[in-house]
Structure 1
Amino acid sequence: MAEFDLVVRGGQVVTAADRMMCDIGIRAGRITALAEGLGQGAREIDARGRLVLPGGIDSHVHLDQYQGEDVTMADGFETGSRSAAAGGNTTLIPFALQQRGQSLRQTVEAYHAKATGQSYVDYGFHLIITDPTPHVLGQELPALIADGYTSVKIFMTYDDLVLRDREILEVLSVTRSHGALVMIHAEGYDQIKFLTDKLEQAGHTAPYFHAASRPQVVEREATHRALAHAELTEAAVMIVHVSGAEAMEQIDWARRRGIRVFAETCPQYLVLTADHLKGLNMDETGGKYVCSPPPRDEAAQAALWRGIAAGVFDVISSDHSPFRYNDTQGKLHPKGRTSFRWVPNGIPGVAARLPILFSEGVGKGRISLERFVALTASNHAKLYGMYPKKGTIAVGSDADLTLWDPERRVTLTQDLMFHGCDYTPYEGLEVTGWPVTTILRGKVVFDAGQPLGRKGGGTFLSRGASVSA
């Protein structure tokens, strides 16, 4: 009789702290042994010549999120999670977006209905708060935090999402009292509106001017304000999708003052620039790169890499926010063709995140393998209350693994993404290092370029408090 359900043999196992050559024994979806020469498994995978890393955790993805009556997100939980598995991920944390006038409990129930039986990988939910009424803050939010929804996102921009400063302070006060972590989209609402109006009045409506409407000062000012609110309330915050040096400087300033702040950046800020939008009109490809904050320039990229190496950033996420390009309910929305202001905001990237960071980071000597694991798995698990169940390779942890061929050279193309979107903004980018096999709780869900898991094989995760916050 086999000792294990699965044995992964002979790979180089890497965590955020260690490297070792060993076999991994798995029973009932959990790692039960790490050693050389383990006994027989009912199934065995030969990992010789492969790196064996914890399955990726992408803690910033948008799936099946309401955008308005005439705009549709390209990925629901089935296609978005399938794309995640294709890119070496085993856990996602998308958002449950509260619409104004809706209770938080209703919001969560609606997103569970969308996700149940659909996901290829495990998942949790962050709560997006847009309507912080006394009932929401006094009753619903504390109860949901106690139920395992231990992270919240708030926005400082967008007409239908923005919170005023007083509302931000109230949210931070509640999360501080109940041990939740708050993710903040830090861009100044009034500054963006002012610049957008000025650009349109001058006839500057093409996609490139989306970047011009959101310069780094807009992000810097909002980041500073968010961190001042965090200092005042003593709350723990995560500044998401940092795009350049100016917001980084504010984060460093806050940490030196003892403010509990964590930071995230994304691949689009490491390999794309605003020039991808330049010289293009709404009938060409510029709208494909419209996201917020926008990609900056090569100097911003260099600053981010310095920040990654220096420990400024705790996590790297995709901010997967997919809209079909050739679709009037997507990037070619009729209003969007009149001005960058109306182009649906976001790009797909959940499948590309890990290969890009591996190639540009590990492959080019900017970060170690251990740092790669921390940025893409372990720190996500720690910050969002899933560690050590998720995010590491250890006895007792879920058997979430990704096998990598560190030498494989791949050109990123749309057909490798397995998402519901009709393009990838990373088309033609060559990477070295590729996730060849994705294993969720001891079951192979993606291998040799094909999904092998089943829709609904992923389960919902009730999460604990951040171990770092």
Structure 2
Amino acid sequence: MSVLIKGGRIITASDDYVGDIYIEDERISLIGQSLDMPADTVIDASGKYVLPGCIDPHTHIEFPFGGTTTCDTWTSATVAAAFGGTTTLVDFCCQVPGHSLFSALEDWHRKMSERKPVIDVGFHMAITDLSDPARMEELKRVVQDEGVTSYKLFMAYKGSVMVDDTTLFKVMQQAHETGALVMVHAENGDVIDVLVRQALAAGHTSTIWHARTRPPITEGEATNRAIQLAHLADAPLYVVHVSCKEAIDPVAEARAKGWKVWAETCPQYLFFDESVLDQPNFEGGKWIYTPPPRPKEHQEHLWQALSTGILSVVSTDHCPFNFNGQKTLGRDDFSKIPNGGPGIENRLHLMHEFGVRQGRFSMNRLVELLATNPAKLFGLYPKKGTIAVGSDADLVVFDPNKQLTISAATHHSLIDYNLYEGYQVTGAPEIVMVRGRTIVQGDELVAGPGAGTFIKRARFGEELTGATGGVAV
């Protein structure tokens, strides 16, 4: 199967030019101008952008948490991702405390094989329990044998998935040996547990108390602690869903020193402040995610950190719980509301509209934040995350003039609400391809479940082709 994309404005993290792309056997085989060669399919991309497929390194699909399970399946979540220009995601495979890492991997592979994805997929290993010495050997094997080259640890959710500093540091030491990237959910879970118990004892049960019991300092302290421990262990560290200045500052300081520290934020922290939690009729329950929405002044700090390189990635933390029947489990107690929000479909729309069109950063930086940096950090580059000869033909033909109103009525996730309901954006994918196969064309899904495949990822700092390469992001 060959495809020729003609006359598009090709944009990568470093380039911006008009040209043609020729695709054979799932990969880009030639890039040039005025290419004249036979192809099974010819796509006229005149007046459109051609971008590398976006990579979402932070999702929770069919994820059991808070007494329920996220509502998107591997099919529905990846369909939604594809309509948003995402061609690869990396999901969190979570160890059940007391069980092996491999039983978790088997469970995630089973769920993915039963409800097949339409885009490519990798896994992170979320570690909750190292009490059995066998787990340390498993940490090596998931990297060496399974291509799962990142470890995730929760510094919050005490009594559930939270780990102590002993476990955190041991995993960091192991990551130094195995070549894995350590990811942390950075909040001080012990302090938050005290604040939540005190709030409930005082009769504070409404949704606004989700934010009041998780103040920014609890995120800042944990972020700094994780950075210092990772530096001591000489392990690379990636801080997920940074939401506030208190967490930005230690990341900025570490990066200024040249330490191996990277961090992401998510669209919800750029657009919503804590006032959304304080709505009548339990509407604030839709915005119960962790860390919580912050006071509004933190939003500009986040935008600035994205534009200056302090933050390296925009992910979604797509963790969808339906409002009716799931979020409402905590109607009378904010601590029982399942934590998480949707967003897998609208990341590119939002970052193009409010990042590029509003002059906060360039198209090159957009590609860097949504595709190239995630690929480099998570062992997918240069197979994915860029447009180059030999790379997978994961491509988005993007219409910069297409107007779209975001709505739950038209999105492709199974969740019953959209945080960005009514937002109007200009710019949306027209064609989305995974390894040269068209998945989305216009407003139609043209590929069925199973178009995506599991991807074994390279170790941190190595290229997916096997050659050693630097990670300068």
In the superposition, the TM-score normalised over structure 1's length comes to 0.95
Match of 1:408 in 2: 402
Do residues 394 (structure 1) and 391 (structure 2) align?
no
Match of 1:268 in 2: 268
Question: Equivalent residues in 2 for 1:26-425 (5 A)?
Answer: 26-38=23-35, 39-67=37-65, 70-116=67-113, 118-147=116-145, 148-158=147-157, 159-282=159-282, 285-327=283-325, 330-333=326-329, 336-425=330-419
**Aligned counterparts of 1:93 and 1:226: Cα–Cα separation in 2:** 22
Deviations 1:19-48 (A, max 9, x none): 111111000110001111221311111111
Question: Closer, same or farther in 2 for the Cα pair 1:132/1:54, shift >3 Å?
Answer: same
Deviations 1:188-241 (A, max 9, x none): 111111221222233221111111111111100111111111121111110110
Alignment check: 8 A CA contact 2:100 2:135 kept:
no
Partner amino acid for 1:67?
Answer: F
Please report how far the alpha carbon of residue 416 of structure 1 lies from its aligned counterpart in structure 2 after TM superposition. 3.2
Partner amino acid for 1:157?
Answer: A
Give the 3-state SS of the residue equivalent to 1:125 in structure 2: strand
In the superposition, the TM-score normalised over structure 2's length comes to 0.95
Partner amino acid for 1:413?
Answer: S
Deviations 1:74-94 (A, max 9, x none): 112111111100111100100
Deviations 1:60-113 (A, max 9, x none): 000011226x41211121111111001111001001110011100111111101
Do residues 449 (structure 1) and 443 (structure 2) align?
yes
After superposing the two structures, state which structure 1 stretch, 41-50 or 193-202, moved more.
193-202
**Aligned counterparts of 1:248 and 1:129: Cα–Cα separation in 2:** 25
Alignment check: 8 A CA contact 2:429 2:442 kept:
no
Give the superposed CA RMSD: 1.3
Please report how far the alpha carbon of residue 174 of structure 1 lies from its aligned counterpart in structure 2 after TM superposition. 0.4
After superposing the two structures, state which structure 1 stretch, 30-39 or 372-381, moved more.
30-39
Alignment check: 8 A CA contact 1:104 1:136 kept:
no
Please report how far the alpha carbon of residue 134 of structure 1 lies from its aligned counterpart in structure 2 after TM superposition. 4.5
**Aligned counterparts of 2:131 and 2:432: Cα–Cα separation in 1:** 42
**Aligned counterparts of 2:328 and 2:215: Cα–Cα separation in 1:** 24
Give the 3-state SS of the residue equivalent to 1:408 in structure 2: strand
Give the 3-state SS of the residue equivalent to 1:415 in structure 2: coil
Partner amino acid for 1:195?
Answer: L
Please report how far the alpha carbon of residue 297 of structure 1 lies from its aligned counterpart in structure 2 after TM superposition. 2.7
Partner amino acid for 1:213?
Answer: T
Partner amino acid for 1:120?
Answer: V
**Aligned counterparts of 2:424 and 2:153: Cα–Cα separation in 1:** 35
Deviations 1:403-438 (A, max 9, x none): 111122221101332011111111111212111221
Please report how far the alpha carbon of residue 443 of structure 1 lies from its aligned counterpart in structure 2 after TM superposition. 1.0
Alignment check: 8 A CA contact 1:65 1:73 kept:
yes
Q: Which runs of 5+ in 1 are unaligned?
A: none
Alignment check: 8 A CA contact 1:207 1:281 kept:
no
Alignment check: 8 A CA contact 2:408 2:417 kept:
yes
Partner amino acid for 1:220?
Answer: G
Give the 3-state SS of the residue equivalent to 1:93 in structure 2: strand
Please report how far the alpha carbon of residue 258 of structure 1 lies from its aligned counterpart in structure 2 after TM superposition. 3.7
Alignment check: 8 A CA contact 1:183 1:238 kept:
yes
Deviations 1:101-139 (A, max 9, x none): 110011111110111260000000000000123534431
Please report how far the alpha carbon of residue 346 of structure 1 lies from its aligned counterpart in structure 2 after TM superposition. 0.2
**Aligned counterparts of 1:121 and 1:417: Cα–Cα separation in 2:** 17
After superposing the two structures, state which structure 1 stretch, 423-432 or 273-282, moved more.
273-282
**Aligned counterparts of 1:202 and 1:363: Cα–Cα separation in 2:** 46
Partner amino acid for 1:247?
Answer: A
Partner amino acid for 2:450?
Answer: G
**Aligned counterparts of 1:395 and 1:20: Cα–Cα separation in 2:** 15
After superposing the two structures, state which structure 1 stretch, 206-215 or 24-33, moved more.
206-215
**Aligned counterparts of 1:389 and 1:177: Cα–Cα separation in 2:** 25
Match of 1:436 in 2: 430
Match of 1:461 in 2: 455
Partner amino acid for 2:173?
Answer: S
Please report how far the alpha carbon of residue 347 of structure 1 lies from its aligned counterpart in structure 2 after TM superposition. 0.3
Give the 3-state SS of the residue equivalent to 2:401 in structure 1: strand
Give the 3-state SS of the residue equivalent to 2:328 in structure 1: coil
Please report how far the alpha carbon of residue 280 of structure 1 lies from its aligned counterpart in structure 2 after TM superposition. 2.6
Match of 1:20 in 2: 17
**Aligned counterparts of 1:456 and 1:95: Cα–Cα separation in 2:** 20
After superposing the two structures, state which structure 1 stretch, 116-125 or 366-375, moved more.
116-125
Deviations 1:311-335 (A, max 9, x none): 00111100000001112xx1111xx
Alignment check: 8 A CA contact 1:207 1:280 kept:
no
**Aligned counterparts of 1:227 and 1:71: Cα–Cα separation in 2:** 32
Alignment check: 8 A CA contact 1:137 1:174 kept:
no
Partner amino acid for 2:72?
Answer: D
